[in-house]
Structure formats: C-alpha cells, structure tokens
Structure 1
Amino acid sequence: MSTLTITEQAIAHTPLFTNDATIMGILAILLGLVFYTAGSVASFWRKFYMFVPSVLLCYFLPSLLNTFGLIDGEESQLYFVASRYLLPACLVLLTLSVDLKAISKLGSKAVILFFTGTLGIVIGGPIALLIVAAFVPDLVGVDGPQAVWRGMTTVAGSWIGGSANQAAMKEIYGAGDQMFSAMVTVDIIVANLWMAVLLVMAANAKTIDAKTGADTSAIDELKDKVSSFEAKHARIPTVADLMLIAAVAFGVTGAAHLFADNITPYFVEQFPNLAKFSFHSKFFWMIIFSSTVGIALSFTKARRLESVGASKLGSVFLYILIATIGMKMDVTMIIEEPVFFVIGAIWMIIHASMMLIVAKLIKAPLFYMAIGSQANVGGAASAPIVASAFHPSLAPVAVMLAVLGYTVGTYMAWFCGQILQNIG
C-alpha cells in the first residue's frame, strides 16, 4: 500500500510537459500572443495594456505553467541555455547600439538623473535590508543560496540594467531558485507600480514642470533631432545583414566562453582570496567580456548593424530569457513572503525620493527624471513606454539611456552585491 501511495504521489507531481522542445514552443507561443495583442488596434487590448505592461505578462504567463504544475521550471534546461548562450549575445547586441556621444548631447541633467537613479538602487537596497532586518533579524546572517542578500543582487541587476543583468547576478552570486523566484516577483510588481506612478506624472508633465520652473525647450529640439535621425538611418535588413548580426552576437559569445574558461582557473590558482568578489566565477567573466566587447564595438563600424535591427534581435533574445526566468517563478510566493515586498517597497521609495529631490534641485524637466528612473528600473523593455507618454518620438531617447543601463548594469549591480554581501 505504501509503495502504491509513493507511486501515486510521484505521478501526481509529474508535470504535464517535460520535453524542453515542447516547453520552448509553449513559451514562444505565449510571447507571440503577448506581442500580437500588445500591437493590436482593438480598443480592449489598447485599454488592457494601458494598465498591464507587456513585459509583466512575459514573466507572469510562464510562471503560471510552473505554479500549476504544467511544467517543472527547476528541471528544465531552457533557462541554462538562455542564460549561457542568449544572454551574452543579447548583451553584445544591446550595448553594440549605445551611442555614448549622443547620450552626452542629451544634456548633463539627463545623465545626472540617470546616474542618480543608479546610485539610488545601489545604496537603496542595502539601506532597505538594514531597516527591515532591524525588525526581522532572521533576514541576515543566513548562508547558502537562499540568503536574502543573494536574491537582492538579482533585483539590483534588473533595476539598474534589465533582465539580462538580473540573470547575470543570479549566476554570479549564486541565488537559489526559490529565492530568485520570490525576488523576481518583487521586482516585477514593485517596478510596475512605480512605472504606473510615472505614467500618471507624465500626464501632468506641463503642470509639474511649470511649478518646478524647469526649462523644457531642449526637449522640443530633441524631438525633432530624434525623429529625423530615425528616418534617415533605418532600413529594411537583408539576410546578409541578419547573418552578420548573428555572427557578431554568437561569435563574441563563443569568445566570452573561451575567455572565461581560461581566466577563471588562473584566478582560482593565483588569487584564492578573490572568490568573494566573484572572480572565481566563469559566468562573471563571460558577462564582463561580452559587455566590454559590446561597448568597444559601439565605437567601430559594427555599430552600423543597429540600423538593420541589431538591438531588436537582442530584444528577442532578451524576451526569451525573460520567459525562461518566468517559468521558474511561483506566484504563490507573494503570499508566503510578504516581507520581501516590504524590502522592495522601501528600496523603490529611496530610489524615487532621490530622483525627485535631485530633479527639483537642478530644475530638470519631468521627462528627464522619468526616463532616467525607468531606464534604470525598467530597462529598454518599458522605458520607451514612459517616454512615449510624453511624446512618441522620444522613445528612442529612453532606449539610449536604457542601453546605458545595460552597459553599467552588470558592474554597478555587482558593486551593490558586494555591499549587500557584507550586510547579509
């Protein structure tokens, strides 16, 4: 009888879909449906996506597959493949398109607010952990993959850069799947609540700017420049263009793996004390190499690949990665671990407060504050949404700042992780 019971339990816990090819197909269909409906002109979908960001569904829908036992997110190898092959390729293509000169021409106020947002995330996390740990001491002093500080590094990666940087922090700092699932849920809910606040503020931008005395003349000029640049350089990609993009993306990915395979053993043998700085992690060196080469290529003719959709293909890789992250989530964690949401809320309040204070001090337009914040917290997936709420032609500006977020995200999130590690 006991054997039968064990067998019945095993059957009951066996997911409906176990073949990764099948699961990948399901994820692709879900992503396709999200973007198809998000681009629909039907009034229902237009109203729906005014309140529910598409990036939220890209996490949430795959998470339902895991929550209801249709798949086993921990057993699937899809996240491993996406994080090792698509993630480095994604980082290369997203950083490849960064135009540091163009970003500097946006004006010092935009850049100041962007880095204020970054600083708010870097110091906000440790402060939030210290505040909550004063009331819940069990949050600190925990070792192993389920340590809260490890999970928080993934939020830092997401809120400074994006999902690619978030996945990088998970691997670099070794956050466990359960903790990662909880923190991804915190990330999505808290970040989207803040984006909703920004969208409401955008609707009242003229009134707010008038009260703060901000000079918005530069924004009007910026709208014209961005629109003309997009019209001049964009063209339909050929097969040769797409193959060249793939060659650069996966060529650098292969080189990144080769670099990591050789430099990691060197640091393990020669510098054993640097393990706490992640220098013994192959994944760390792979991500650093990919990001650095991507930045270097942005100063070469390779940057022309952006005109034929380099960052768009990078975004495709990114959304596949997001879906594989989502399928490891368990939405019931919202109920089980409310203290994590308290940490996330305090963290975001610190970030938002710094943004608003600095924006008022330097009399920056609300637009700069909004995209500076969202380029950090939301990345290229949602920063254009906020920018478009001001004017559709400003979306590429938000993308440029978001790409800057991808560029510095891994480095700054790693630094935040070092602070969190000393606290936790």
Structure 2
Amino acid sequence: MLTITNSFVYIAFLMFLAGGLLALEKYTKWRVFNVIPPLVWIYVLNMVFCTMGVYASDACSAAYSALKNNLLYAMIFVMLLRCDFRRLAKLGGRMIAIFLGCTFTLAIGFLVFYPLFMNVLGGGEKTWAAVAALYASWVGGSANMAAMQDALPVDGGAYSCALALDTVCYSVWIALLLLAVRYAKKWNNAVKANTKGLDAIAAAANEEVEKSKAHKATSSDWIFLIGLSLIVSAISQWVGAQMNVGLASVGLDMFDKGTCTTVFVTILGLVCAMSPLGKLPAVEELSNIYLYAVVSLLASTASVTDLISAPMWVVYGM
C-alpha cells in the first residue's frame, strides 16, 4: 500500500481532499451532502486512509506535531473575533436566557445519562473527555469540539465515535426542524405567540450579516489576519506554558499546557472581538479554512476500527 513519506505531500493531500469535497458539495449539489456534510466525509475518509497505512510514516507524524496545535489556537482566536458581547446583548434578556437554559439542560442530560452508558461507550477513563468535547460541540459548534480535543485528554477512537454521534443527531434534528417549519404559523396561532420581537431580532442579525458581506477582503486583509492569528497562536502557547508552570507550583498541575493555552487564547479572542480587530473582513473564511485543516489533521491519526462502539454512542446521544 502507498505510504506518504514526505511532509509537504502529506499536507498537500489533506488540503486537496478537503477542498475537493467542498467543491463537490458546491458544484454538484449531491443530496448526500445534505445528509452527511463534507466535514464528516473529510474525517471518515482520512480515517480510512490512516487505517490503510497511507499516513504511517515519520514524516507525516512530524508534520502533524508541527501543525496541529499551532493551527488550532489560530483557529480559536479567529473564530472568536466575531463574538462581540455588545452584539450579543442586543438579542435581549429572553433570548440569552433561552440559550443558557438550553446549555444547562444539555449539561443535565449528559451528566445524568453518561454513568448509565459509560461502560458500553468504552469505559469512563477512555470516553469522559470525548463526551465533554461532544457537549462543547452541541453548545457552540464543531470548532468548540476541535478545541476541546487539545484542551482535554481526548482519546482518538472515542473522539471518532463522538463525531459520528454528532453527525447523526445533527442530521435528525435538522430534518425535524425543516419538517416543523411548515407548521410554524399554525403553532403560533394556536399558542397565541407574539413573534414581533423575535422577527425584529432576526432582521437585525441579518442586517449585521449583510454589512459584513459588503466589506470584501483584500489580499492585505488576508495576509494581516493570517499573520496576526499565527503570532497569537505562538504567543498563547508560550503564555500557556508559563501558566502551567505557575499553577503546577501551587499544586494545580491538572491544568496542563493545553488547557491553559486554550483558556488564554479564548479570553484574548473575546477581548479583541470588542476592538477594531473584530470588524476585520475574511474572518469567517479564514476560520473555516483553519477548521477544515485541523479536522483533517485530527482524522489522519484515527482508525476506522475506533468506530466499533459508534452505534452505542448514537443511542446515548438520542
């Protein structure tokens, strides 16, 4: 079987595979991507190639070690540049309370049912971190899940199963939402719901999106944002290492370098989001590029055999 023995070829192949799948979704409009999005295909196909031994070389391992964390922290920073708390405040207390309520009830569900399913999922020591990463995904999306993969000691096989569960539940939930849309007006009339406030919030959100689209990114914007995110990643990892040493000296060594770095870069991103940096164009595009790159790297170290317990994960998620 062909094995990639060159670091550049390894990275080139990962990015070509991701880009090719995204191009297929965009230009072919195949319905399969409505059920299983490209992000999942990227993960599964790379797992297949890993199982076949395509990435089984020292060159691939060296490239993975050199890039994964560096790109991950850059991704977290860029994604948070659109998380301006002042904009969130415009949603109003009720909308924020609904989000926090959903977050809280999800936490209860995870905590109550995990002890019941822990053994069939693969054991507590192997799966607790993957379950935490899954919770992060359901609260804040795939980027959160990727970030937790580094902040916590997530087992690669358990992470693969959690991703499979995430995809299945996402597909079922979206299908139910689309089915319910046609009955929205009847439901609102039946419960006498006043949607004027919600409609106003949606209109304001759409207006913000249109404003951001009006400012097209130039090559200078792209170069600056890439450079900024990479230097932030480098600085954050240095600060995270210093935080880890300081906390370890007072007996808090459970906060390892990955956790400290993730916390620091998150706080830094939230602060910068309220500065002019939060209005930089190309933020969404670059954050997506980082996301697909990080997911490709993570998947290239997982095996298809890790998915043996995936069906029980889906039962747990449902």
TM-score interval (norm. to shorter): 0.7 to 0.9
Note the C-alpha offset of 1:336. Answer: 4.2
Aligned to 1:129: 114
Q: 1:52 offset after TM fit, Å?
A: 2.9
Query: How many residue pairs end up in the alignment?
Result: 316
Q: Pick from 225, 233, 237: which aligns with 1:257?
A: 237
Normalising by structure 1, we get a TM-score of 0.66
Alignment correspondent of 1:394: none
Of the three residues 73, 76, 80, the one matched with 1:95 is: 80
- In the TM superposition, residue 291 of structure 1 has moved relative to its aligned partner by 0.7
For the 8 Å contact 1:73–1:328, the answer to whether it is kept is no
**Taking structure 1 as reference, are residues 316 and 182 closer, same or farther at Cα in structure 2, changes over 3 Å only?**
same
Contact 1:66 1:73 in 2 (8 A): no
Q: Retained in 1: the 8 A contact 2:36–2:167?
A: no
Distance 1:289 1:332 in 2: 35
Q: 1:282 aligns with which of 257, 276, 286?
A: 257
Structure 2 CA distance for partners of 1:227 and 1:240, relative to 1, 3 Å: same
In the alignment, is residue 163 of structure 1 matched against residue 142 of structure 2? yes
1:35: which partner in 2?
Answer: 22
Q: Which runs of 5+ in 1 are unaligned?
A: 1-13, 346-424
| Distance 1:78-1:106 versus aligned 2 partners, 3 A rule | farther
User: Separation in 2 of the partners of 1:193 and 1:215?
Assistant: 28
* Equivalent-residue separation in structure 2 for 1:33 and 1:296 (angstroms): 35
**Structure 2 spans left out of the alignment, 5+ residues:** none
Q: Shift of the alpha carbon at 1:138? A: 9.3
**Mean Cα deviation higher: 198-207 or 19-28:** 198-207
- 2:164 touches 2:310 (CA, 8 Å); kept in 1? no
User: SS state of the match for residue 13, structure 2?
Assistant: helix
TM-score (norm 2): 0.86
What is residue 317 of structure 2 aligned with on the other side?
A: 344
Matched, 1:105 2:87: no
User: Any conservation in 1 of the 2:157–2:307 contact (CA below 8 Å)?
Assistant: no
1:65, distance to aligned residue in structure 2 (A): 1.6
In angstroms, what is the RMSD of aligned CA positions? 2.8
1:409 matched residue in structure 2: none
| Cα displacement string for residues 339-358 of structure 1 (whole angstroms, at most 9, x for unaligned residues) | 3333222xxxxxxxxxxxxx
Deviations 1:71-112, CA, capped at 9 Å, x for gaps:
349963455444311111111111111232222222333322
1:252-297 deviation per Cα after TM superposition (whole angstroms, max 9, x unaligned)? 212211211222112112x22x23xx32x11111111111011001
Corresponding residue of 1:180: 159
Instruction: Select 2:296's aligned residue among 320, 323, 328.
Output: 323
Matched to 2:89, the amino acid is S
User: Which letter does structure 1 place at the counterpart of 2:263?
Assistant: I
Match of 2:44 in 1: 60
Give the corresponding residue for 2:270.
295
**Using a 3 Å threshold, how does the CA distance of structure 1 residues 301 and 180 change in structure 2: closer, same or farther?**
same
Instruction: Give the residue type in structure 2 aligned to 1:63.
Output: M
Q: Is 1:268 the equivalent of 2:248?
A: yes
Q: CA deviation at 1:148?
A: 2.2
Equivalent pair of 1:181/1:328 in contact (CA under 8 Å): no
- Give the fraction of aligned pairs with identical amino acids, expressed as a percent: 21
Q: How does 1:212-231 map to 2 (within 5 A)?
A: 212-231=191-210
Decide whether the 8 Å contact of 2:21 with 2:38 is kept in 1: yes
